[in-house]
Amino acid sequence: MSIILNIDTATETAHVSIAKDGIVLKSYPNQTQKDHASFLQPAIQKLCKDTGIELKDIDAIAVTGGPGSYTGLRVGLSSAKGLCYALSKPLIMINTLEVLTASAFSATMGQPVDDSTLFCPMIDARRMEVFTAIYDSRLMEVLSPCAMILDEHSFQDELRKNKVIFFGSGSVKWAAICQEANASFAEVSIRPEAMASLSASFLSMDQFADPAYSEPFYLKDFQTVTKR
């Protein structure tokens, strides 16, 4: 039996959940991105109260490690690392694009999707840039996570050979310029159930991150505007 606290503050909507053996017992969302930091600790306390599970009794803490919002990633990882140190619990870091893709798997259940269909998560990175990757139906990488500036020639090789489902906050920009017949689009956001299933799998394989050296997976350098 495993009990995991899952933390996701990487994108527009945050969530925290407590899951037992990969099944969510209780979760709370926050849909105001600028409030992720103030939302997190009270939500964790409420989770513990409502489930009757104390933090000392959990087996691990999982967090989406990026890519995503710079501030959101720092909020989530710093909280997760602090709890790991305080409770002497292992840290699980999961790529945000993997969690988003696992969420797409459950979102597209019941639809005609064959084994050759590829899944392309997209997180908005402003202007025409997205954080993206491509996975097959077993969540194996076809295109490694990267920051990509979209144009009409993007994903030509993949779309020539396969049907590709695009989803996530960045897919709206791609839908506006994509003319490929093999491209389809789905409305998908990160689901607590998908993250709980992945974190349970990581725990079963002892796939942990070192809290002392773990850093957010930004994918590109943080840029600031210099005032004149």
CATH number (domain holding residue 28): 3.30.420.40
Mean pLDDT, the chain, whole residue set: 92
Q: What is the pTM of this model?
A: 0.92
Number of domains in the chain: 2
Q: How confident is the model at residue 9 (pLDDT cuts 50, 70, 90)?
A: very high
Q: Are residues 170 and 154 in the same domain?
A: yes
**Strands of the sheet with 118-124, listed across from one edge:** 141-149, 129-135, 118-124, 164-167, 183-186
Close Cβ partners of 76 (under 8 Å, ≥ 6 residues apart): 7, 8, 9, 10, 14, 36, 40, 63, 64
- pLDDT tens figures, 175-187: 999 999 999 999 9
Q: How confident is the model at residue 219 (pLDDT cuts 50, 70, 90)?
A: confident
- pLDDT tens figures, 97-152: 999 999 999 776 656 567 789 999 999 998 899 999 999 999 999 999 999 999 99
Q: Are residues 66 and 118 in the same domain?
A: no
Task: Report how far residue 216's alpha carbon sits from residue 75's, in angstroms, rounded to the nearest whole number.
Answer: 10
Q: Is 115 exposed, middle or buried (0-12, 13-18, 19+ CB in 10 A)?
A: exposed
Instruction: Answer for the pair 141, 134: CB distance below 8 angstroms, yes or no.
Output: yes
Phi/psi region, residue 168 (left: phi>0; alpha: psi -120 to 50; beta: rest), is left
Q: What is the pLDDT of residue 225?
A: 42
Q: Are residues 146 and 80 in the same domain?
A: no
Give the residue numbers spanning the domain of 156. Answer: 97-186
